[in-house]
Amino acid sequence: MKILSVNAGSSSLKFTLIELPSREVIASGLFEKIGIDGSCYTIKYNGEKIVKEVELKDHSVAVSKLIEELLANKIVASLDEIEGIGHRILHGGSEFTKSLLLDDSVLERISKYNELGPLHNPANITGVKAFMKVLPNVPNVGVFDTTFHQTMSEEEYLYPVPMEWYTEYGIRKYGFHGTSHRFINKSISEYLNRNDLKVISCHIGNGGSICAINGGNVVDTTMGFTPLAGIMMGTRSGDIDPSIIPFVMKKTGKTAEEVVNDLNKKSGLLGISGISSDSRDVEEAALKGDKRAILAQNMYAQKIANYIAMYNNLLNGADVIVFTAGVGENSKNMRKMIIERIQSLGVKIDDDKNDFRGEFRLISTDDSKIPVYVIPTNEELMIALDTMELISK
């Protein structure tokens, strides 16, 4: 069975065509600058790369081009081979607790949450509509970043603020990266052949979040009402004292939106190092002795370590810690820096085992109190697996 896994942005459309159940990636690609000058696309297939610059007026044109290329390159013999399309959708509010089949009325319900994810949700919906238009007979499934976290209890998802903020405006912790954390939990549970694991899943990429999972249910996660909360990230501050915002507004004359934009785009590793949001650049500068880069790395590692320790307490002792995403999968130095900061939990890294990138491996010593794994995340596969399950019902 071939499933398309899709992530549509406001001017982009990323896809992966996956064969199931073998999980083989048949083709993948990216349509960029949709609706803007200089639009182009790249498709990878069979070790080859197709790169074309063409006008992509809107998402429907991009989808039509994708279909054209799939047929012209015989990636699929006919469109009937594509049995389902799974779409990444950012926000399902408190309403959507699972992935589901999409139709016009469900899209209408999802659009109610556009104000909670203004950059992503309208674009995600545009992507779904484009596929519905071009491939009207293929079922579409929505897979949300927020649904996995819907098992959090009131105690964890409410903020200690006037209750009306929640009841009137839906202000609560939603959490993000749910598809990645769900994939990590599924992978480690299958690998260890247990469904009662207490997992601390650390998704550390450009964005980052940590998730405490007990037997497949999320107990708590670090991102909040928006992805700005929690650990320090590439360009996001993570948790700060909210009183800083009006103070900076007064000092700089910036609007609230501008200050929040600084917290989203100019903070984190970038803000502290003054060099880059990319952990590789910061690491390189730190190795050369750049003081701000060293400070940025230390702060980054410490904030992650603090949350791991907190979640170990919340879970009353975790069974396993997992690192994933760009930094978690690839940076052995950052993994080491984090683990050195959770020694009080009896966690120990094995430097030889940790000397690799981008694979599923154990990196802790045999006597580490909690085993630590690295698992490459695969949100595209998770989306395809949900799609297969829902269309096979």
Q: Three-state DSSP class for 91?
A: coil
Query: Of residues 343, 357, 389, 392, which one binds ligand ADP by CB under 6 A?
Result: 357
Query: Of residues 73, 206, 217, 302, which one binds ligand ADP by CB under 6 A?
Result: 206
Give me the amino acid identity at 286: A
How many other C-beta atoms can be found within 10 angstroms of the C-beta atom of residue 223? Answer: 28
- What does 191-247 look like in DSSP terms, one character per residue? HHT-SS-EEEEEEESSSEEEEEEETTEEEEES--SSTTSSS--SS---S--TTHHHH
Nearer to ligand ADP, 90 or 390 (CB): 90
Residue count, binding to ligand ADP (CB under 6 A): 13
Q: Does 119 bind ligand ADP (CB under 6 A)?
A: no
Query: Residue 140 contacts by C-beta under 8 Å, 6 or more apart in sequence?
Result: 84, 85, 86, 87, 101, 102, 128, 131, 132
Q: Which part of the chain contacts ligand ADP (CB under 6 A), choosing from 22-30, 145-153, 322-330, 342-350?
A: 322-330
Q: Does 279 bind ligand ADP (CB under 6 A)?
A: yes
Minimum CB separation of residue 390 from ligand ADP in Å reads: 25
Nearer to ligand ADP, 117 or 205 (CB): 205
Per-residue tokens: 332:
């052995």
Among residues 37, 104, 145, 281, the one annotated as catalytic is 145
Query: Of residues 57, 266, 280, 291, which one binds ligand ADP by CB under 6 A?
Result: 280
Minimum CB separation of residue 226 from ligand ADP in Å reads: 15
Q: Does 180 bind ligand ADP (CB under 6 A)?
A: no
CA atoms lying within 13 Å on the CB side of residue 325:
19
Q: Among candidates 2, 3, 67, which has minimal Cα distance to 31?
A: 67
Q: Does 205 bind ligand ADP (CB under 6 A)?
A: yes
Q: Among candidates 163, 134, 167, which has minimal Cα distance to 59?
A: 134
Give me the amino acid identity at 367: D
Nearer to ligand ADP, 250 or 288 (CB): 288
Q: Does 12 bind ligand ADP (CB under 6 A)?
A: no
Cα-Cα end-to-end distance for the chain? 14
Q: Does 175 bind ligand ADP (CB under 6 A)?
A: no
Minimum CB separation of residue 277 from ligand ADP in Å reads: 7
Task: Give the long-range contacts of residues 70-77, CB within 8 A, separation 24 or more.
Answer: 70/17, 70/27, 73/43, 73/45, 75/17, 75/26, 75/27, 75/45, 76/2, 76/17
Q: Does 234 bind ligand ADP (CB under 6 A)?
A: yes
Minimum CB separation of residue 51 from ligand ADP in Å reads: 21
Nearer to ligand ADP, 304 or 327 (CB): 327
Q: Among candidates 49, 47, 56, which has minimal Cα distance to 9?
A: 56
Q: Which part of the chain contacts ligand ADP (CB under 6 A), choosing from 9-17, 34-42, 275-283, 385-393?
A: 275-283
Nearer to ligand ADP, 325 or 383 (CB): 325
Minimum CB separation of residue 124 from ligand ADP in Å reads: 16
Nearer to ligand ADP, 117 or 326 (CB): 326
Provide the 8-state DSSP code for 81: G
Q: Does 297 bind ligand ADP (CB under 6 A)?
A: no
In terms of DSSP H, where are the helices of the chain?
59-72, 104-111, 121-134, 154-157, 163-169, 178-192, 244-252, 256-265, 268-273, 279-287, 291-314, 325-330, 332-340, 379-391
Q: Which part of the chain contacts ligand ADP (CB under 6 A), choosing from 250-258, 273-281, 287-295, 308-316?
A: 273-281
Answer yes or no: 145 catalytic: yes
Q: Which part of the chain contacts ligand ADP (CB under 6 A), choosing from 67-75, 100-108, 288-296, 320-328?
A: 320-328
Q: Does 326 bind ligand ADP (CB under 6 A)?
A: yes
Q: Does 287 bind ligand ADP (CB under 6 A)?
A: no
Minimum CB separation of residue 61 from ligand ADP in Å reads: 26
Q: Does 327 bind ligand ADP (CB under 6 A)?
A: yes
How many other C-beta atoms can be found within 10 angstroms of the C-beta atom of residue 97? Answer: 14
CA atoms lying within 13 Å on the CB side of residue 95:
14
In Å, what is the CA distance from 189 to each residue of 150, 196, 198, 331? 20, 8, 10, 24
Query: Of residues 330, 354, 364, 368, which one binds ligand ADP by CB under 6 A?
Result: 330
User: 65, 54 in Cβ contact below 8 A?
Assistant: yes
User: 152, 175 in Cβ contact below 8 A?
Assistant: yes
Question: Which residues would be at the binding site for ligand ADP (CB under 6 A)?
Answer: 205-207, 234, 278-280, 325-327, 330-331, 357
List residues with catalytic annotation.
Answer: 145
